[in-house]
Amino acid sequence: MPTRGKKYLESRKKIDSLKRHALAEAVQLAIESSYAKFNETIDIAVKLGVDPRHADQMVRGTVVLPNGLGKTVRVLVFAKGEKEKEAMDSGADYAGGDDLVEKIKGGWLDFDKAVATPDMMGTVGKIGKILGPRGLMPNAKTGTVTFDVARAVNELKAGKIDFRTEKAGIVHAPMGKVSFGVEKIVQNMSAFLETIMRLKPSTAKGTYVKSIAVSTTIGPGIRVDAATLKDIGKN
């Protein structure tokens, strides 16, 4: 087992590992237990009663967090002609076609999200093995393969995240920075959890949301009472 640091152990003492908290209370505890010298990210982990090995039980989607993520998102757009200009006018950090593909082949990856117009996917496919493993490949299911590049860029800049169920049936997602405070983090989590509930597969049997946990980047996990979901939208 890895050895935990003194500060982590002190932070852990503040939290009852068996108790399940209301969402706002869990966020408050996470913020209070933060001890890092940097502005930590607050994350949420939701264990779902689905089997992601079956395509019809895979929970995958996107959500624009109302308060963003608290960080600058560098967006690259694969486009040409008027769409390339539209991308740059909308705030994209980089836009282009073959020139960007060659640059990426050479090892350049100084961007966080990528968007592509449908007519550019043949070109982008040449670097799929580079972008795919890094989660940077444009995908129509997440709204990043589109001719509406202005909307895509604006949403990503505003804090749009995409998520999908991992093998163990858990969905992880960042919800903002400790400096946001409780209210903004809870608003972001509410938007995320509303989306999770809306995406419940019709084939999922039994309890859909099995557990929820909140934590900071390097802090301990705090359990959330899943009954909190009935109040989502009222926070």
What pLDDT digit, counting tens, does each position of 96-129 carry? Answer: 999 999 999 999 999 999 999 999 999 999 999 9
In this structure, the answer to whether residues 153 and 207 fall within a common structural domain is: no
The candidate with the shortest Cα–Cα distance to 201, out of 50, 61, 53, is 50
Question: For residues 224 and 214, is the Cβ–Cβ distance under 8 A?
Answer: yes
Q: List phi, psi (to 5°) of 180.
A: -65, -35
CATH assignment at residue 191: 3.30.190.20
How does pLDDT run across 165-180, given as a tens digit for each residue? 998 999 999 999 999 9
Domain boundary among 117, 142, 157: 157
How does pLDDT run across 32-45, given as a tens digit for each residue? 888 778 999 999 99
- What is the average per-residue pLDDT within 142-158? 95
In this structure, the answer to whether residues 82 and 144 fall within a common structural domain is: yes
In this structure, the answer to whether residues 166 and 227 fall within a common structural domain is: yes
Distance between CA 86 and CA 82 in Å, rounded? 6
Q: What share of the chain is helix, strand, coil (3-state, %, to 5)?
A: 40, 20, 40
In this structure, the answer to whether residues 64 and 167 fall within a common structural domain is: yes
- What is the average per-residue pLDDT within 57-71? 93
| Three-class secondary structure of residue 11 per DSSP | helix
- pLDDT of 233 above 60: no
pTM of the model: 0.82
Sheet architecture: strand order including 170-177: 170-177, 41-48, 209-216, 222-224
In this structure, the answer to whether residues 105 and 48 fall within a common structural domain is: no
- Strand ranges inside 134-219, DSSP E: 160-164, 170-177, 209-216
In this structure, the answer to whether residues 41 and 100 fall within a common structural domain is: no
The candidate with the shortest Cα–Cα distance to 78, out of 67, 66, 65, 88, is 88
- Helix (H) / strand (E) element for 121: namely helix 121-124
Is residue 5 situated within a structural domain?
A: no
The percent of residues in the chain predicted with pLDDT above 90, rounded, is 75
- The boundaries of the domain holding residue 62 are 15-69+160-231
